[in-house]
Structures are given as structure tokens and as C-alpha cells.
Structure 1
């Protein structure tokens, strides 16, 4: 798994604190290479790009950044704009806002901007995203699915994501919207993938060694289906409930780490917890 992780990702479960200590957004600032020009905010996912872009610009500048630019890519033509491509290549990092993840992939997929994002990722620059901007990080993403309900066939829609983090499926607003059922269904359909559900005001910081660390106020839920002994997912009729045996599940709070290659949780020492 770790050979498929090339750079650094900060994947945020949505609704991150924007008015208090701003722990997660401060982490974005901390992780940027401040020798480079600016942070780029990509507002492609939202229907309110001006308002959302301005909000994040003000937040990040109040947190100490000198240059923050919001860019809304609302068409395929704009996703091939040379000026935007160069801004991304020369940036300190990129932050995806929330909204609709399918807007991100349908507008950026295969474009020059898409290529630039993968280029800076391979270079080790930070790519961060919240809510829809988190879901889109993986190679396969959840587009739509029933929350807070029994997992059933035909209630989940998936599509290719940005492919920055492969063999993983990300879900966000996880505990707050009761999304465990739909992540279990996603893993039943794709047991070679790892499911990661990220709560609101919580993030995972993925580094190039293939480990991630949880930060924020809530938890990340890990669903490992590699040892599933039985599932009826392929035999189900529409809207019939899922059967699934021997799924491994972890719920880990801030300070805990997870190795994506060995699929092991690293429990922090007491001294580490005091520094969170």
C-alpha cells in the first residue's frame, strides 16, 4: 500500500472548527512550505464559490498565511487553463472545500489541473480537503448512499475519485450522519479496499511512509474487510439487507496512528497524548 502513497494528504471529515482554536486549519498552515508563494483554495465542489472562497481566505490569512487565493473551476475548459495550472504547480499547497465531490471529478478528471495536482502531490506538497474535498481523495469514492439505515443493495453509488490515495474509500461527516452502514456496504463490494470514516472536526494526516495520524476532536473509524469470511452482497435483490461476517473495525481518536501497509494501529504513549 505505501508504494502507492506519494505525498502528504490532510483529509478532513467536514465541519472543522473555524472560530475557536482551529486546530485542523492551523495544521494546514503548519504543514505548508512557506518558502513558496501561496495556498490555493479550490472551490469547485461548492455552489457558492465566492462566499466559501472568501471565508477560507480570511481564515487562513488570520492564521498567518500571507498569500491565499481562491480559484473556482466551473468548466472543463477552465480546468485546462495554463495560468491556473501554473498557479497550482507554484503553490505551497492546495485546499479543496466541501460541496459535491462529483463536481470535482467531473470537472477536473483528466484535465491539466488534474495532472498538476498529481504532480505537486508527488513532489511532497500538501493537498488538503474537507467534506466532499475529503471523499474525492481516494481512487474510488462514495457519491451517494443512505445514512443511518441498514445497509442494503442498490442504496450506494460509487465513482472514480482523484486517485491520490489508492485502495481506500473515504467517508466523511461519519458518526454525525450515521454512515457506518454505507461504508460497510462499500467494503463488502470492495473487500480489498480499506474503509475510513472520518468524523466532523477530525482529520487524518497521511504521509509518504504509508501511515496516518488522527487529529481533531472526534474519531476516525477504520473498516478492514480483507478477512471477510462470508457476504451475501452478490446474491442480494434490490433493497435486501446485507449479510457480512468477520469484518475488522477500529475506532481511533486523536494521537493514534494507523499503518496502511501492515493494517496495524499504533497506540500513542502517554507523553504523546499530552502534546496533542
Structure 2
């Protein structure tokens, strides 16, 4: 990957980090903040990095971490930042859903085209992988989303995939309904819920609805308590937007997920792993300091929410180190 370093004075505030990052993004494409010689620097990264080799886990020859489902009561989230998803992301979701035994439900409601007959095409990707069953679930009506016959496919599902589009459409149709409760039940019995773009944003109760640099908030699902998700993160220069959310919600960890990348969350343990072609940026408010800390997670990296909240020498603070 070709890289250039922009060295400078220590950055004194999160807003300065955001402004400098946004400026550099316009010039170079995309930047990340890294610690260099005791100061902060901005590093340009390739917008189309080559697929990275997964770190090998001695317990799993494939190098992939299988969700720990103690007692069958803990499932997984596959939270994708949008864009063209690598096969590794789809393969992980399919594996967690049960492979050839998977019973998958696809929710295309975030798309304005979900009402068209052609919407059934979204099922093909999972049918081609050989799932035991693939069904579509869609409505614009919260009343319909509470109907027993409507949610029946979710009662039988081992995996649910939520497509991209406008997360507000998902929120209006499903938050607080039986659909949300049955999605939680999928996780409780050891299944997987995945989503990309809008389907990623809806995963947390505090949901970024829209807004270019200043986020407009709404309500999403409460599948990852203590966090807020932003997507298309580096590609669309959304650092400033996420920092604004954390300034009003310092109790949350911000998870900025770039395109072609997914964060896999084992729900019970809050264990996190990254797969795909780019980065996940964890933005952690610091009670001892008014500046948040940033940690950049590349494909193959693993951590958990407890470790992210604890100050570490590998975390990058938005100030002079």
C-alpha cells in the first residue's frame, strides 16, 4: 500500500483532528491518525487497499473467530460499512447462520425499491451459497410489523440480513415492534443479525439518521448497548460527524466502519473482530480528558468493548502524547 506521512505539531483537540483530517482527505483521499515519535501524524491510506491476509488463530485453521455461543444463548452481529462487500464478509455471515443449514431472512426495507417486485433479487446471493431457506421480510407499516404471521419467518430464522438504503425507513417501520423483539430473539438463541450501510446504522439505540458533518439522530435497535455506529466512515469523511455525536453522548463508544469492511461482534462477550479490506475506527470518550481516543482496527484485529474503554499505550489520543 502506498503511503505518505503528514507530520505536524501535536493536535490539541478533537475538532482540530477532524478539521485537519477532513482537509487531508480532500487532498489525499483518506487519512488515519497514528502515533509517530510522541506526536500525532496523519497517514494517507489507499482507498482501495489490497485484501489483507487474516491473522491465524491457532484454535481455528481458517484464522476466523467462531462466535462463542455458551449454552446456545449468544449470537453475533456482522456490521458492515457499505460498498461492495468482500466474499469474506458474506462467507462469515453465512457460516454464523449455519452454513448449508442456514434459514436466512432478508430485510430490504431501507431501500426505496423494496416495494417493487424486483426486490426479490436480494435473495439470490444467499440462495447461491446454498442456504436451506431464504425468505424476504418487508413492510412500511409498524402495525403490520406487529402481526404474528408477518414475523413468523423470524421465529424460524438462524440469520437475518438487513440491506442498505435509508436507515430512517427501517426505524419508522420496525423500532419498538415485534420485528425488533424477534430480531433480538434470533441473537438470544445463537443466531446472527447482519447489516450493511443503513443496516449497520440501525444496530444501535442511538442511531445516526443522516447529516453530512452534523448528525441528526433517531432511534435504532438496541443490539449493541454502549455504542453508536457510523458507516462509509473513511470513504465519506465522517470523523467530524461521529465526534459530534460523542460530544453529546459521552457514555457511548463510536464505531466508524469503512466500506468493504465488517465488524463482527460476539454479543455475550462483546468480542470484536474485523474482516474485509479497510478499517474500523473506535472513538472512545475519555473521562480523564476532554479529548476522545482513537483506535484503528485493521482486518484480522481482535479486541472487546472493555479493552477499548480502558486506556492503553496503543490507543491514540487527540492531543500531544
Aligned to 2:79: 11
TM-aligned CA deviation for residue 6 of structure 1: 5.2
Q: Is the deviation greater in 162-171 or in 108-117? A: 108-117
2:131 paired residue number: 65
Question: Could you list the runs of 5+ residues in structure 1 that have no partner in the other structure?
Answer: 148-154, 231-245, 268-276
Q: What residue is the counterpart of 1:190 in the other structure?
A: 249
Alignment length (residue pairs): 237
- 1:116-160 CA-to-partner distances (Å, cap 9, x unmatched) read 11112222210001100000101211112224xxxxxxx321122
Q: Residues 89-238 of structure 1: matches in 2 within 5 Å?
A: 89-147=155-213, 155-207=214-266, 208-227=268-287, 229-230=289-290
Alpha-carbon deviation of 1:27?
1.3
* Alpha-carbon offset, residue 32 of structure 1: 0.9
Does the aligned pair in 1 maintain the 2:206–2:219 contact within 8 Å?
yes
The CA RMSD over aligned residues, in Å, is: 2.1
Residues 1:38 and 1:6: Cα distance change in structure 2 (over 3 Å): closer
For the 8 Å contact 1:42–1:73, the answer to whether it is kept is no
Q: What are structure 2's unaligned runs of at least 5 residues?
A: 1-72, 315-321
Is 1:251 the counterpart of 2:317 in the alignment?
Answer: no
Q: Mark the structure with the bigger radius of gyration.
A: 2
Conserved? CA contact 1:221–1:250, under 8 Å = yes
1:27 pairs with 82, 92, 96, which one?
A: 92
Q: Which residue is equivalent to 1:82?
A: 148
1:212-264 C-alpha deviation (Å, 9 max, x unpaired): 1000011100100133633xxxxxxxxxxxxxxx2210111101012102326
TM-score under structure 1 length normalisation: 0.80
Report how far residue 51 of structure 1 moved: 6.9
Q: 2:94, 2:251 → 1: CA distance?
A: 34
The equivalent of 2:9 in structure 1 is none
| Post-superposition offset of 1:169 | 0.6
Q: Could you say if the C-alpha distance between residues 24 and 109 of structure 1 is closer, same or farther in structure 2, counting changes exceeding 3 Å?
A: same
Match of 2:306 in 1: 261
CA distance 1:228–1:104, change in 2 (3 Å): farther
1:27-69, Cα deviation, whole Å (9 max, x unpaired): 1111113586620001111111147743331111222224211
Aligned-pair CA distance for 1:78: 1.8
Q: Are 1:227 and 1:248, in contact at CA under 8 Å, matched by a contact in 2?
A: no
- Report the equivalent of 2:112: 47
